[in-house]
């Protein structure tokens, strides 16, 4: 049997009612309707006193800094469970927006209170107090709609604000393994020297040593004591007195290695606007790279851009060729760099002479499908290395000739070249200079006093000086630019020659140098070998 609560009180019937208060606060509340938790408690207690109900502090359910759009709130959920279990008779809140800002869910909740004959009282709602069991609710739907509209508008404004800050690099979302945010300026990142060595080691093992992700994990888990990203984040949270709610993995996994190898934050780049949410508290979706905001040289890099670029090329090559070199026990000098010149597919590392353990390469299409896909051909690794060294010796001579030619040009021909480049500009400036002189003569001719003549002389002297200075400045700028460009090219050529010498003088080339130099190696069934250098190396001559 249901009992009308107000009748029980007004009729003087004895009934012990369980009355509680509910307070909620979200930090994005509008200041016009803003009320602190303490203010909400005061309003609720004053109303309860007017009804001869007593509410103590322990009778309040409080969700602080929780959005009203979600109904999955700790204290709110606990309170509603007790209402449904018959342990609470009356819930008092400041207004309907404290209960929630989701239009549909709030209306359903009101109906549930009515069905259970439990009362929900909103002290400051609809220009007075709203009592769910005893007042008409003709316009309650409009109120809940406005409440939801407000939170949606706040959400849109927040997204727009975040978008604006991301676009200008003023918002750095989340944490980065190996970097810490400046406490005074959250737009700045600084290298965490504790983590720098592990980032450098991962790239070194992957790019220079040619190890796969699984092998790198084995090395990190067995030989080093570096914290995994989740262990690192947990430690940082604890230092700030916060709880880390995500799972913590103590062992390195290939997924962690992939994340580090693919993140360009480690070469000094900040990338924002990588995700966005469509609806309120909706799941974030990843955005394509074309929509990211990219800020070069944003912070101190841990690895060079060249090292990062090589890592991406290796990752792409392994995906394209479905390389299995990471699972092989033997390492091959040119793994991932060679392709079959006849069919265009990748090649497999093989043992050509098991007694001598001689390494070589064979077309993967022929190895898998036989003559139906490609011709039978294999080649020794030592033969490729010999041919590659001869190719580098020949190319080196071309580069040395280019270096000598440029250095001679810098010493003898640069000035002549510069004079040709500025000749037209000088002619224009000379024409302007002549016009100035002509105009000065005319102005002097019509001047009536010595004072006017002196003024004209001084004015035109400044204009003439300005023209001659421009000519001199232009000459210097052009000479400097020509010299810098030429010297930069010489530097690149000398670096390339140094790489050539490093390979020519060693029995087993450094993997990092090979990655810097080689774009592809083509092997053909007629034993021909073709070497393609990286475009930025090949185009130097």
Give the pLDDT confidence score for residue 119 in this predicted structure: 92
Strands 358-363 and 378-380: antiparallel
> Which of 308, 373, 280, 313 has the alpha carbon at shortest distance from 520?
313
Provide the token pair at 258: 């992939």
Closest to 378 in 3D by CA, of 334, 357, 347: 347
**Side-chain half-sphere exposure of 31, counting CA atoms within 13 A:** 0
- Report domain 179-310's class: alpha beta
- Per-residue pLDDT, 292: 82
How many angstroms separate the CA atoms of 44 and 46, rounded?
6
In the three-class reduction of DSSP (H, G, I as helix; E, B as strand; rest coil), residue 170 is classed as coil
CATH class for the domain made up of 5-164: alpha beta
Check for a shared fold between 5-164 and 179-310: no
Q: What is the pLDDT along the chain (541 residues), one digit of tens a residue?
A: 334 555 544 433 335 789 999 999 876 554 444 568 888 999 899 999 999 998 998 999 999 888 888 888 999 999 999 999 999 999 999 988 888 887 778 888 888 898 899 999 998 876 678 888 886 665 565 565 655 666 556 666 666 666 676 677 666 767 889 998 887 887 788 999 999 999 999 999 998 888 888 889 989 998 888 999 999 988 888 887 788 878 889 899 888 999 999 999 999 988 887 777 655 455 667 778 787 888 888 889 999 988 898 888 888 877 665 544 444 445 788 888 888 888 888 888 888 776 667 888 888 888 777 777 788 778 888 888 889 888 888 888 877 776 666 655 554 444 444 555 555 676 676 676 677 677 777 667 776 777 777 777 776 677 677 777 776 776 665 555 555 556 666 677 777 777 788 888 888 887 877 887 888 899 998 888 998 888 777 665 5
pLDDT of res. 194: 92
Q: Record the pTM.
A: 0.50
Domain ranges of the chain: 5-164, 179-310, 384-538
Spatial distance between the Cα atoms of 349 and 328, rounded to a whole number of angstroms: 9
- The pLDDT score that the predictor gives to residue 20 is 95
Q: What is the DSSP letter of 346?
A: B
3-state secondary structure of 338: strand
Q: What one-character DSSP code corresponds to residue 184? A: S
Residues 6+ apart with CB under 8 A from 79: 20, 22, 61, 88, 91
What confidence score (pLDDT) does residue 102 get? 78
- CB-based contact 90:5 (threshold 8 Å): yes
**pLDDT the model gives residue 193:** 93
* Kind and range of the H or E run holding 258: helix 254-262
Torsion of CA 199, 203, 205, 211, to 10 degrees: 120
pLDDT score of 31: 44
């Amino acid at each position: 049997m249901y009992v009308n609560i107000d009748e029980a009180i007004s009729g003087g019937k004895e009934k012990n009612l369980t009355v509680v208060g509910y307070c909620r606060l979200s930090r994005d509340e509008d200041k016009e309707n803003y009320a602190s938790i303490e203010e909400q408690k005061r309003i609720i207690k004053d109303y309860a006193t007017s009804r001869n109900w007593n509410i103590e502090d322990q009778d309040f359910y409080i969700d602080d800094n929780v959005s009203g759009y979600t109904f999955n709130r700790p204290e709110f959920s606990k309170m509603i469970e007790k209402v449904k279990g018959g342990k609470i008779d009356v819930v008092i809140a400041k207004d309907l927006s404290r209960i929630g800002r989701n239009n549909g869910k709030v209306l359903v909740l009101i109906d549930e209170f009515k069905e259970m004959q439990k009362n929900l009282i909103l002290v400051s709602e609809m220009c007075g107090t709203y009592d769910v069991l005893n007042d008409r609710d003709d316009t309650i739907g409009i109120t809940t709609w406005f409440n939801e509209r407000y939170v949606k508008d706040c959400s849109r404004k927040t997204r727009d604000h975040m978008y604006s800050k991301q676009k200008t690099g003023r918002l750095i979302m989340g944490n980065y393994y190996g970097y810490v945010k400046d406490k005074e300026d959250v737009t700045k990142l600084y290298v965490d020297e504790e983590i720098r060595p592990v980032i450098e080691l991962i790239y070194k093992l992957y790019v220079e040593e040619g190890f796969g992700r699984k092998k790198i994990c084995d090395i990190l888990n067995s030989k080093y004591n570096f914290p995994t990203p989740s262990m690192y984040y947990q430690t940082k949270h604890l230092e700030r007195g916060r709880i880390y709610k995500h799972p913590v993995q103590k062992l390195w996994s290939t997924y962690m290695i992939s994340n580090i190898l693919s993140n360009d934050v480690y070469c000094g780049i900040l990338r924002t606007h990588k995700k966005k949410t469509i609806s309120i508290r909706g799941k974030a979706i990843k955005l394509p790279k074309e929509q990211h905001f990219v800020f070069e040289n944003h912070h101190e890099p841990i690895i060079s851009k060249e090292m990062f670029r090589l890592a991406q090329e290796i990752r792409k090559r392994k995906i394209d060729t479905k390389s299995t070199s990471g699972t092989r026990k033997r390492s091959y000098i040119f793994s991932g760099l060679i392709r079959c010149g006849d069919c265009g597919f990748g090649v497999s590392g093989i043992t050509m002479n098991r007694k001598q353990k001689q390494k070589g390469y064979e077309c993967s299409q022929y190895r898998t499908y036989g003559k139906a896909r490609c011709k039978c051909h294999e080649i020794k690794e030592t033969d490729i290395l010999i041919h590659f060294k001869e190719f580098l010796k020949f190319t080196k001579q071309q580069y040395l000739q280019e270096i000598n030619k440029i250095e001679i040009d810098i010493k003898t021909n640069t000035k002549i070249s510069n004079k040709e480049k500025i000749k037209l500009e000088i002619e224009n400036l000379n024409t302007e200079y002549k016009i100035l002189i002509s105009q000065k003569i005319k102005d002097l001719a019509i001047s009536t006093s010595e004072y006017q003549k002196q003024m004209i002389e001084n004015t035109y002297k400044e204009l003439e000086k300005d023209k001659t200075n421009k000519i001199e400045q232009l000459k210097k700028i052009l000479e400097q630019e020509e010299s810098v460009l030429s010297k930069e090219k010489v530097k690149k050529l000398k670096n390339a020659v140094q790489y050539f010498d490093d390979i020519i003088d060693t029995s087993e080339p450094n993997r990092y140098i090979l990655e810097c130099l080689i774009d592809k190696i083509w092997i053909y069934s007629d034993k021909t070998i073709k070497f393609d250098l990286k475009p930025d190396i090949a185009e130097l001559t």
